[in-house]
Chain A
Amino acid sequence: MGEQNILKVNPLPTLTWNHLMLNFANMPLEEKAQVKADIPAEFNGIETGMGGEFVSYVESHAGSVQLIRAGKGEDLGVIRDDNAGASAEVILIDAAEDSRVTFYSHVSGTKANGTQATRLVKVIAAARAQVTVIQSQTAGNDTMIGDDFGAIIGDEAGVHLIQVQLGGKAAFAGGCAALKGYKAGFTEETIYFGDESRRLDFSYVTRHTGKKTTTSMLASGALFGNSDKVYRGSMAFIHGCSRSKGREAENVLLFSPTARNRSIPLILCDEEDVDGQHAASIGKINKELMYYLQSRGLTESQARQLAVESRFNPVIDEIPDEAVRQEIHAYLERRMNLD
């Protein structure tokens, strides 16, 4: 790898004690010749989870953008990202009123070109539009992953983000949803897998400004080896977003005495008439469950794999490509087969 840029990414929306090292993350990316992408004005200024430095890096290195426009009432079906694995790529989705689009991008160990793969997806979802974005990766141990997302969501529109972060030397990922419209909705599902010395670093933010807006953020992960993970999940209820609701939950299974898990789920609230809840559960796998599975003839490794996949499968099943789903299952089996 040549010269590196150290970017400040995944900023916490409000600061806390510096010694926790959670206020932001440092992400090394390659210093390359800049080939700036031409970004339509309406997509400028959309906040993302990974923050301005990452956005600026990707936009100035991508060279071009994939612009997906769904016209009023149009259903584009599933659009597959043929450029996945590029060093830097920008995808912009403009979903007009009542339109529908699913964008799907997968980076595998064989697809990543070189030592980094960064993806930036920005979405504008107009009234009643439905947009689903799926970013998955099973990159090799030498690849730096950056997956960022930002959306502006209009009246009664729904945006669904799925991130499947299973490989890479390090994976930085984030998402931000600005719920501006009346009854705008955002759901986010993340699964992550850490082994060897993989570093995983996440930051998700939802900003509720519209009335009766809803958020659901669910993260589930498994940490093996010397992996080190940080999860930031923040819901901000901004004055005026009355009757809004937010739910956030993270479940982490720890399988190694040398893995490290850090979680910081935030609720920021200056609106009285809201309902926000978050929950986190971090710990070892249930001993009774392991005993039961082994008493039924599974090896310890198989039992572990079953426990992890049972949590991951509902998310993996949403990937609209059977071959990729198979690839992910094979990847997890290979990674978890420690017998």
Chain B
Amino acid sequence: MKELSSAIQLIPLENYIFLSVALFSIGMMGVLFRRNTIAILMCLELMFNSVNLLLTAFSAYHSDPSGQVFVFFIMIVAAAEVAVGLSIVVMMKRNVDSIDINLLNRLKW
């Protein structure tokens, strides 16, 4: 167990930074790319998770458990956000019979 754990730190921290930057960019691209509201919510989840991964990587690297507790709180907020967001999607489908995000453009003004 000890050897396994110390071998984990052989992965450079830069790799995790690059991975989570790539995931965050893919998520942001998806938010701009899609018009389906559910797909946009899914891309938001992707962005949340890239940040979670980076927090966990730094926490494991510094041996400081506060980062992993923070990831736990982010998961709590994400669960609440998904519940409210999906109920908004259901209401939108019921009112305008579509989940196209462009139909919400009156929120701009």
Q: Do A and B bind each other?
A: no
A residues with a Cβ closer than 8 A to B are none
Residues of B whose CB lies within 8 Å of any CB of A are none
